[in-house]
Amino acid sequence: MQYVLYGLLALIVLLIIANLKIVPQASEFIVERLGKYHATWSAGLHVLCPFIDRVARKITLKEQVLDSDPQPVITKDNVTMQIDTVVYFLIFDTKAYTYGVVNPINALENLTATTLRNIVGDMELDQTLSSRDAINSQMTMLLDEATDRWGIKVNRVELKNIMPPREIQNAMEKQMKAERERRETLLQAEGHKQAVITRAEGDKMAVILEAEGERDARIARAEGEAKAIKLAKEAEAEGIRLINEARPSAQAIELKRYEALVGMSNSASAKIIVPTDVVSVAKNNVLFSELTGLGDHTDPLPPKSPADKEDPCCDEPVK
């Protein structure tokens, strides 16, 4: 009898240990009692009632990623392309997630595919390729609203790849190449234009600067010559003023006049024609004769030419 009690006690302990449940952090357990929802266990230690309660589902509350396979999508201009999406979601209501829909992940994947087809079907190919952000935002809003009753919160949807048909890709590559060549041609033309304009402006500035330099040089030369003439005239006027102040005698003035005449006659190319009466006066003037040497010598007579010689035939007396 004693062994039976020990056996029963050991069985009860084993049952209790077997029904001890530890819920991890960021997880929740859905517990059913006799097939009906009973409770939701959060993180911690819990005891399950044997033969009555059971853990229906273990659910993680962490954010999850649903990477869907590429889906064929037809655009508004009848281009079929493959698009795969990535959905970031988390579970905020474990009871609704458990009892709201059968296989919630599969339901979310199918809902993502149909929503993507509806959105892209209203767009053309070029608009689809250039409107990733708009498509992502619209899908996030629609999926989040549709999955609220499933206890799922859709945080973000991203278009992973957009793969048009091969012939469309080739056409797009040719178009991009042509566009790049067009831009290159425009850039080269613009560069050549700017170079010509810059060169013309440089030549224009060079001509202007050269003209301004020549003008300034002429002005400087003219100012210099004017100053020189002014200084010469001032010196001449000052000399005349000094002469006037000195009150020179007639003899001094006459002497200066003769000195000037001597200076003029010293030049090798100078030719002075003096009238006879002036020469006579100069000879009478002893001082002028000594200064110039006028009257000191007389040019010899030119030699006789052969024509002036006596002709013996003609000079002989006639018999």
Cα separation, 100 vs 151, whole angstroms: 8
* Residue 128 and residue 99 share a domain: yes
* Residue 159 and residue 69 share a domain: yes
Contact 121, 75 (CB under 8 A): yes
pLDDT at 93: 93
In a domain, 131, yes or no: yes
pLDDT at 318: 44
pLDDT at 78: 87
For the stretch 101-132, pLDDT in tens is: 899 999 999 999 999 999 998 888 888 888 88
pLDDT at 126: 84
In a domain, 287, yes or no: no
In a domain, 274, yes or no: no
Q: Between the CA of residue 87 and those of 33, 44, 65, 297, 315, what are the distances in Å?
A: 34, 30, 6, 136, 155
* Residue 119 and residue 80 share a domain: yes
> Average pLDDT, stretch 73-91?
91
* Residue 135 and residue 71 share a domain: yes
For the stretch 12-28, pLDDT in tens is: 778 888 888 899 999 99
CATH number of residue 90's parent domain: 3.30.479.30
* Residue 139 and residue 73 share a domain: yes
Domain boundary among 17, 36, 60: 60
> Average pLDDT, stretch 212-217?
89
Average pLDDT, rounded, for the chain: 81
Q: Between the CA of residue 47 and those of 11, 24, 93, what are the distances in Å?
A: 16, 14, 22
* Residue 34 and residue 101 share a domain: no
Domain boundaries, position 22: 2-60
* Residue 80 and residue 136 share a domain: yes
* Residue 85 and residue 147 share a domain: yes
* Residue 88 and residue 126 share a domain: yes
In a domain, 231, yes or no: no
- How many Cβ atoms sit within 10 Å of the Cβ of residue 196? 10
Cα separation, 27 vs 30, whole angstroms: 10
pLDDT at 260: 67
Q: 303: pLDDT confidence band, cut at 50, 70 and 90?
A: low
End-to-end CA distance of the chain: 223
Cα separation, 82 vs 110, whole angstroms: 15
* Residue 56 and residue 68 share a domain: no
* Token pair listed for 133: 């952000």
In a domain, 10, yes or no: yes
User: How many domains would you assign to the chain?
Assistant: 2
Domain boundary among 164, 186, 206: 164
For the stretch 134-160, pLDDT in tens is: 999 999 999 999 999 999 999 999 998
In a domain, 108, yes or no: yes
In a domain, 89, yes or no: yes
* Residue 30 and residue 70 share a domain: no
* Residue 160 and residue 68 share a domain: yes
In a domain, 179, yes or no: no
pLDDT at 275: 55
Domain boundary among 164, 191, 206: 164
